Structure formats: C-alpha cells, structure tokens
Amino acid sequence: MPGEGRTTPVNDPENNPLEQRVVGLESSMQEILSLLRTAASTPPQPPPVPPVPVVPANPITPNPQGAPPLLSYVPPPTSNTTTGALSIPDLFPDVDATIVASIGKHEFKPQQLGKLIPSITAKATTTTYALEDGALRATDTAPIKDLPDFSTFMRALGVYFQILFRFVATTGSIQAVADVAVSTQGYTNLLHEYSRYFSYPAILTYHIAHHSRRIREMLRGDYSLWADEDRALVGQLHRSNIFQEVKSSSASSSKQKSAAPASVTRDVSSQTCNRFNDGRCSTTPCKSGRIHKCSACGSTAHGKSACTQASSST
C-alpha cells in the first residue's frame, strides 16, 4: 500500500509554534481578566496628600549688603489685655492717656513737652517767621513759661524718652530698642554740654528743630540719629544764643538808664520853700524837704506873703 513504511506525525503542541502562541495568548487574557475583576471589586485609593511646607513665623529677607534692614514702624497697642498686666498709659498715670498714645504714634509735637509734667499747664504755641535761604519759614516756638528753666525742660524730655522706650520695646526689634537706649542718652549728654555754653532759650529752640527732624525717621523705624549733632542746627543755636545775649544786654542797659535819674538826687534840705512864702505850701514839715521860713525876715511862723516887715519895707 502506498505510504507504507512512513509514520504519521503526532499532533504535539510543543512541536507546533502556532499552538504555543495561542496558548500564551489565552494565559495572558486570563491574567488580564483576573486583574480587571480584582480592580472592579476594590475601591480606588485616594491620591496621597502632598506635605505642607513649614512657613517661618517671621521670614527674614537676606540683605546683600550685610546691614540689618530697618523695620517699618507699626504702632503698638496702647493697652494690654493680659490679665494683671499694665498698659503703657497705666505706667504713666500723671500724663494724659491721649498724650501717651500720641508719642507711640509719633504724633507728639516737641512744643507739647510741658504736658508731660503735671505741675505745668501747657499754653498754646506761638508761630514766628524768619527769612532763611531766601524763603520765609514758619517756626512754632514753645512759650518759655511752660518750661521756665533748663532743669524743668530736661525733666519733661526724660519722661518723653521713657514713654518712647516703652513703645519701641513692644515692636520686638532688638536693634530699635538698642538705638533708642543709646541715642537718647547721647542726646541728653549733648544738651547738658550745650547748657555750659548757650542760653536756655537757645537750647530750647534747638531741641524743637532737632526733635521735628527725628519724627520722620522714627516713622520709618529708625531711632539711631537722636545723638547726631546737626551742624546746620548748631549754627542756628549760635545765632539764637547771640540774639538772646544782645536782648539781655539791651534790657539790662535800659534798666540801668531808667534807674539812673532816681539814683541821682539833690540835697534841698538847706533851701527855702518858695511855695511856703507864696502861701501855697502849708504842710509842715515841707513835702519837698525844704525849709519853711520867711524869705524876708527869716521867721518860721509865716511866709513872705504874710510878713509885715516885707510889706513895710515895700
């Protein structure tokens, strides 16, 4: 028979590449279906929450120049809600609370120094005008009667610096606190030095101008310039001192001139009173210090108008 002597191949999957591929596909499909069933029965997990970055309480901006940046001024609270703690106005009971608050806000004017001492009743300031550099400038001048002497002025200024220090201490700026402590002490020493050479009215005028210039700087948080000696203001201090000396000298000279006629008196005790002889001075002793006697006969009993010898001789 034809075909005898040949063996028929057995259908073996291992020897058939196509069947091997089909078996592999079926196995992959089974795995995919199993994963899909598992995913359908299990709810999806929420996405992970990203960590929240930690923000520092007081971020510090690096300064390329190395110097500490000036802190902008933030008016501190005038009261403390902490139980048992005193507010800043409570620390100065002799000063009006609104005045204390105005110092913390840098709205306090140097002409108001008299209000910091309870024994002084501050009066309204006066405005004077002076020609400086070709321009007419107005200057508020504190009445000398409010701060009558250098000692009273320094006492009021000391109260102002104490209140200022209390407010600056609440800002949390170590630099500002140090500047206030050092510069205000330096300025106090400078004023004591000026008092050896300049009159008190000149020093008071200098302080008003110096304090006014510091207000704008303090609003920026800079307290370091209190002790700086302003050359332009020192020049005004010299001129003001010269003016005060000339004014005092003129007043002293006027007093001496007015007192001179009173100090020079004539001795009239040996003169005869003409009014007595005319019958017009009847008061004895004479009001002018003269002698009441008759100019004709020398009698002290009558004047010439009543003298019989004078009429007979006529």
Count of beta carbons in the 10 Å neighbourhood of residue 108: 21
- Give DSSP secondary structure letters for 226-266: TT---HHHHHHHHHHHHHHHHHHHHHHHHHHHHHHHHH---
Q: 240 pLDDT band (50/70/90 cuts)?
A: low
Residue 69 phi/psi, 5-degree rounding, is -70, 150
**pLDDT, tens only, 168-182:** 999 999 999 999 999
Q: Residue 83: its pLDDT value, please?
A: 43
Q: What pTM was estimated for this model as a whole?
A: 0.49
pLDDT confidence band for 59 (50 / 70 / 90): low
| Region 27-33 average pLDDT | 78
More confident site: 251 or 47: 47
- Parse the chain into domains and list their residue ranges: 88-251, 274-309
Query: Residue 296: which pLDDT band, with cuts at 50, 70 and 90?
Result: confident
Q: What is the mean pLDDT of residues 56-76?
A: 56
- The pLDDT-based confidence of 106 (bands split at 50, 70, 90) is very high
Report pLDDT for 306: 81
Check pLDDT > 50 for residue 200. yes
Nearest to 211 by CA among 223, 199, 221, 201: 223
| Adjacent-strand bridge partners of 132 | 135
Tell me what the mean pLDDT of segment 262-273 comes to: 70
Which range, of 36-45, 64-73, 142-151, 275-284, averages the lowest pLDDT?
A: 64-73
Is the model more confident about 34 or about 252? 34
d(C-alpha 80, C-alpha 206), whole Å: 36
Type of residue numbered 284: T
- The Cα 49–Cα 60 span in angstroms is 29
Q: Can you read off the two tokens belonging to residue 172?
A: 């949390």
Closest CA to 240 of 155, 128, 149, 125: 128
pLDDT at position 146 is: 78
How far is it, in rounded angstroms, from Cα 301 to Cα 307? 9
